[in-house]
Structure formats: C-alpha cells, structure tokens
Structure 1
Amino acid sequence: MKKVFISGCYDILHGGHIQFFKEARALGDHLTVCFASDKVLWEHKKRRTSIPQDHKLALMTALDIVDQVVIGDCEELGLDFKDHFLRIKPDVLAVTEDDQYADGKRALCAQVGAEYIVLPKTPPQFTPVSTTSIVRNIRTPSYAPLRVDFAGGWLDVPRHARKGGYIVNCAISPMVSLTNWGYQQKSGLGGSGAWALLNGNDGVESELNLGVGWQDPAIIRETGLCVWRSGDKPVLHFKRNGDFLHGLMALHYTDIPHDTPSNADNQRDYDMIEAAGRIAEEAVVEANISKLGEAVSLTYEMQLKEGMCPLPEAAGCIGRKYSGGGWGGYALYLFHSSEDRDAFVASANCNRPIEPYITIR
C-alpha cells in the first residue's frame, strides 16, 4: 500500500482543497490529511480558527477520498505535522507549487525515505478562492457610510504630509450598499473607499496607488468623528461619536463632476490647511461646533484661493466648503441650529441632510 501524506491549515474547507485532496490521493492507495491545530493556527498565523477543531475533523473524516485525518500540533514552523509524519512513515509527501517550507519538508522526507512531490497548479474545477477571501467576505458589511471632511484635507497624501498636522473627518449616514447608492457618484464623499469596503477590500493601498490620500477608506472603516495624524499611513489621534453634530450638517450638490486625482498637485496654501486642521482638532476635542465652523470656513477660504467657485450662502450657516478635493461634487454646510439646517434642505432639491455615523465595536 502506497501511503500519501498532505498537510495544511484548511481553516475553511473549500473546493480548491478538495481538488488538491483528489490529486494527492491519485498518487497512491491511502491518503492522510493533517490540519493545523487551533494552537498552531494562532501561533503561526495569528488567527483564530474559523471552524471549531472537532467540526473540521468531522468534515474531513467524512470525505471518501480521505483515509485518515490527524491534527498537527508540533510547534516547529511549517512542520506542525512532524510527529505524525515520523510515526506514519508515508511513501509520499505531496505539496503545492507555492510550498513555503520546502527545505524543512525535504529533510523530513529524507528521514523516513519518503518522496517529496510537488503537484502543479492544474486548471481549477471551481472558481479559485482562498480561506482568507472567504473570511474577508464573511466580514464584509452590506452597508457602509460615506464621509465628509472638515479640515486638513490633502495632508493625508503622503507627499503633502506635514509632521504635527491633522486631518479631521466624519463618517455619515444615510449609508450606501452595492445595490443602493443614494448619492451622486464621484462627488467627493469618499465613494471609492466605501466601494472597496463593500467589496471586502481595505482600500487604503488602492487610494495611495491612485496618488491621493488615505483618509476616505480610513474613516469609512473606522466610523465616527475622527482626528488623524498627517503622515504616510492612517494613525488615529482622537475619536468621538459626533453627537454634537446631530441635526447640524447638510450637503449641497454643485452639479459639477468631482475629480480628486487630477487636482492632487494643484498650487494651494498648505499653511492654511494645516492651521484649519489644528483648529478642527481642538473643536473635536472640545465638542465645539462654533470652532469647527471656524475650521471649515478657513478651509473654504483656502479653496477659494485655489480657484474654486464661490458656494451659495445659507442663513444660519457657520461654515461651508467643498467636500474632499473640491472643484465640484458635494459641498458641506454646517449650521448652528437644526431649524436652520432643515430650512436649507427644504430650500432646494440639490440640498440634503446628513448625520454623523458610528458603529458599535
């Protein structure tokens, strides 16, 4: 009887695993499958098991193509199956082309006279999937918030970052989904960050690859009213729920397309941006709506200097600015009272109310 041995984490069993099991079983007459124990999975992958260990054992044992299932608990990196392997003394150790621990496994095979066989990547019988992607999809939300930024925008773009600077923004509702997007697209509200999150992706790297900043995916993932430190990557400085903003925010749609990447390197007053960020940081810490309006207004003054068109005035407005990179899309309006906000919303179809949004973690 020719005995074949394979090992892996197999945290969530999927079609790709079954295909590998079949191909390995074809190499001999008896197949032993070893999967990493919960302890090994945590120590080597820093990940909790997705399926309880006894359930995983039952699932694999029930497969007709599998003759024996064992649990690997050896602490040696990449060789959690070592004790079982030395005891069973198989004729073949089958691995995939992307085996990361080939040297150690070849040495182990030499101890028992086993053949080390690399199985080529054959065309998949199923749509390719990984355990990581399955876990990611399970964790992917059905709805995501968009965001408005108050001050410090552009300091999240690594090449424009300033040490000691702040970016202040807030996740907002109503939220969006892949099938229900109740806002204009490409409108300065961080839609690309929300789209990435809804598709199970982080979004930070993709935004940086576009040559823009990380604030959109960072706040959409974090939620709440946040102050971030300027730099190459998101570092949260301070966060609160944003209740003091309830009933005081509205959006005005300019009916002009928004395009951040093409405006990322415009000439602009970064001293004003940094100053507005510092004022906004103080406003959030103090929950001071008047001071936040001051920061928004200073940002708007910089946007006008950059060349953006003036926005319509509104009674009771304490601060207004283009959202995101500006030059179109939505503009944020901040009010002292909900009555003024609601009157502004009712005055035109292009105006709408928004509220701060935070998830319970």
Structure 2
Amino acid sequence: MIKVFVSGCYDILHAGHIDFFEQAKALGDYLIVSFASDEVLVKYKNRKSSLPEAHKRKILESIQLVDKVVMGKNLQLEGIDFYENFLIEKPDVLAVTQDDKFSDKKQKLCAEYGCQYVVLPKTPNPEFLSTSQIVNRMKCPTEVPLRVDFAGGWLDVPRYAREDAFIVNCAITPKVSLANWVYEMGSGLGGSAARAILKGKPEVYSEIEMGVGWQDPAVILETGLCVWKSGKVPHLELKRNPEILKGNMAVFWTGKSHNAAVYKKRDYLAISMAGKIAKDGVLTNDLSLIAKAVDLSYQLQLNETMVELPEIEKSIAKKYCGGGNGGYALYLFGDRSHRDEFVANNARAKAVEPYIN
C-alpha cells in the first residue's frame, strides 16, 4: 500500500482542495490529510479558524477520497505543523501544490525520512480560488461607484510618479453592479477596477502590480472628492464632501472605447501643474479652479493628438475621462439647468453626481 500525505489549513474547503486531493490520491492507495490546528493558525496565519477543529475534521472525513484525517499541532516548526503525524504515519509520498511556501523544509523532511516529494499543479477547472479569495468574495460590495478624474491622471502609475504632485478625482453615481452596468464598456471611468472590486479581487494592489496605476480602485473604495499624492501606492492627501459638484457634471460617450496608449509627447510637468490647480480648487471649495485644471488637462490631451471634443456652449470645462482617445468625456457646468439641458438634448450624454459614502 502506498501512503500519500498532504497538509494544509483547509479553513474553507473549496473545489481547488478537492482537485488537489484527487491528484494526490492518484499517486497512491491511501490518502492522509493533515489540517492545521486553531493554535497553529493563530500563531502562523495570525487569524482564527472559520470553523471549530471538530467541524473541520468531520467535513474532511466525509470526503470519500480521504482515508484518514489528522491534525497538525506543532507550534515550533512553521510550515511543518504535521511533523509528529508524519513520523507516525510514515508516508511514501508527500504531495504539495506548486506554490507551497515551505517547499524547502518539506523537501528536506522527505529526504531525511526517505519519502518521495511530489509537486502538483493547481488546476484551473473550475477557476482556482484560494480561501482568501473566497473570503474577499463574501465581503465584497454588491454595487460600487465609478469615478471621474479632474487632473493629475497618469501620476498614479508608479513609473510616472512625481514628488509634490497630486491626482484629483471623485467617485460618481449612478453606481454599478455586475447585474446592472449602466455605462458603456471601455469608458475611462474606472470600470475594470470596479469589476475587480465587485468580484472580490485584491483591487488596489493588483492594479499596482500590473503597473497601470491605482487611482481607480482607490477612489472607488474611498468615495468623495479626493486629492491623492502621486507615488507608488495610494496616499490620501485630502478628502472633501463634493457638494460643489452636485448638478454640475455630465459624461458624454464619444462613440468608441478608450485606449490608454503612452504618448512620447506627454508632458508630466504640466500634468503635475494641473493637479496642483485642482488640489487648490478642492482645498478652497472653488469650482472655477477645478474647471481650470480640467481645461488644462484637456489641452494636454489635445497635445497628445487626441481628437477634439464637441464644444458645448454652456459648459465651463471638458476633458476625456480616460488616458486616450475614446470612452467618456467629462463636461463641467456652473449651473444644474445647463447640465440638464445638455443631457436632455444629447442621447449620448448622462448626468452623473458625486458620491460620498
């Protein structure tokens, strides 16, 4: 009989665990599953278990693939809490996943006791979910706002960050949900970040890792009228109730999805200047300064060969919402009636309002 040994927290049992058990069982005849005790979780994971130990054991024992369940209690050997059980069971195979953080320790253990060490891939069928991802899905909101940015766009991208520079943006309604998406796709309004948040993904830090900037998920989660310091990670410099923006904003669909190409002509110094003007507008509650920053940002967009936007007689400022041609354009107005008139007369225009939670 070939004994196969696996270990893990198994805090929230999911399909990925079952796939792992199936692969492990195929390596032998007898599958032993070790789960970490509550004390081990507290010490090394810094969290409580989602289930009492007895419940977890009962669930694991009910799986037909599993022949024996043991509990790892060793508090001295991080990553090898199952040490005593390993010595007692004397398995022929120790199976681990490809991203095991303690592979070196486990390989050494296997070499010492003559056990075969086998690395198994994480299968994508169904789509892999970790316990942390499941918890995030349970905690994630069912609807979120999108965002408009007034100035400083691109300075949230780590490689373009500038000292003493700012990004100014605001969360907007109508909100969106996975079932009710009221905007066009490829809008330049932070939709990809919103979808990540709604799906329970690690929104801000995944955007940082991708190198595409963090302002979208940051303001969607923070809400309000926000001033952020340019840098590698989000740092909220200032937040205001966006009352001055109520009734004064509309977005206009340009007819195609936006692109985010990096233009060689991009003037990051001037973008920084626009961000500082917008920051002053937020600080002094001055819509005209925010409009000035929006207008400067638009002029910079035109310098990047973006197509001119339609002139709207009573608009006080406009710019593309995203980092390239297409998507939505933001139009600012000094009076609600002017905004509402624009929306009423343009099928591609939508009134948006600032949102603060």
Q: Name the TM-score class by shorter chain.
A: 0.7 to 0.9
Partner of 2:166: 166
Task: State how far apart, in whole Å, the 1-side matches of 2:239 and 2:40 are.
Answer: 36
* Deviation of 1:318 (Å): 3.6
Task: State how far apart, in whole Å, the 1-side matches of 2:125 and 2:185 are.
Answer: 34
> In 2 relative to 1, CA 115–282 (structure 1 residues): closer, same or farther, beyond 3 Å?
same
Q: State how 1:17-32 maps to structure 2 within 5 Å.
A: 17-21=17-21, 32=32
* Deviation of 1:189 (Å): 1.8
Conserved in 2, the CA contact under 8 Å of 1:39 and 1:73?
no
> In 2 relative to 1, CA 148–125 (structure 1 residues): closer, same or farther, beyond 3 Å?
closer
Task: State how far apart, in whole Å, the 1-side matches of 2:124 and 2:353 are.
Answer: 47
> In 2 relative to 1, CA 278–38 (structure 1 residues): closer, same or farther, beyond 3 Å?
farther
Partner of 1:293: 291
Match of 2:326 among 322, 325, 328: 328
Conserved in 2, the CA contact under 8 Å of 1:202 and 1:217?
no
Match of 2:279 among 274, 281, 284: 281
Partner of 1:129: 128
Q: State how 1:107-118 maps to structure 2 within 5 Å.
A: 108=109, 114-118=113-117
Structure 2: runs of 5+ lacking an equivalent? none
Structure 1: runs of 5+ lacking an equivalent? none
Task: State how far apart, in whole Å, the 1-side matches of 2:265 and 2:161 are.
Answer: 15
Conserved in 2, the CA contact under 8 Å of 1:40 and 1:75?
no
TM-score normalised by the chain length of structure 2:
0.80
* Deviation of 1:296 (Å): 1.9
Q: State how 1:177-216 maps to structure 2 within 5 Å.
A: 177-202=177-202, 212-216=212-216
Task: State how far apart, in whole Å, the 1-side matches of 2:53 and 2:138 are.
Answer: 19
Task: State how far apart, in whole Å, the 2-side matches of 1:309 and 1:222 are.
Answer: 32
Conserved in 1, the CA contact under 8 Å of 2:41 and 2:48?
yes
> In 2 relative to 1, CA 297–53 (structure 1 residues): closer, same or farther, beyond 3 Å?
farther
Q: What percentage of aligned pairs have identical amino acids?
A: 46
Conserved in 1, the CA contact under 8 Å of 2:107 and 2:117?
no
Task: State how far apart, in whole Å, the 2-side matches of 1:228 and 1:107 are.
Answer: 48
Q: Which whole-Å deviations, capped at 9, do the CAs of 1:224-280 have from their partners, x for residues lacking one?
A: 33222223443333334534423322112333553222xx21424433321221121
- Please tell me the residue identity of whatever aligns with 1:13: L
* Deviation of 1:152 (Å): 0.8
Task: State how far apart, in whole Å, the 2-side matches of 1:24 and 1:256 are.
Answer: 49
TM-score normalised by the chain length of structure 1:
0.79
* Deviation of 1:201 (Å): 3.7
Partner of 1:67: 68
* Residues 1:312 and 2:311 aligned together: yes
Q: Which whole-Å deviations, capped at 9, do the CAs of 1:6-27 have from their partners, x for residues lacking one?
A: 3211122123433544565677
Task: State how far apart, in whole Å, the 1-side matches of 2:300 and 2:108 are.
Answer: 66
Q: State how 1:16-55 maps to structure 2 within 5 Å.
A: 16-21=16-21, 32-46=32-46, 48-55=48-55
Task: State how far apart, in whole Å, the 1-side matches of 2:136 and 2:105 are.
Answer: 31
Partner SS for 2:120: coil
Task: Tell me the matched-pair count.
Answer: 353
Partner of 1:356: 354
Query: Which sits farther off after the overlay, 18-27 or 344-353?
Result: 18-27
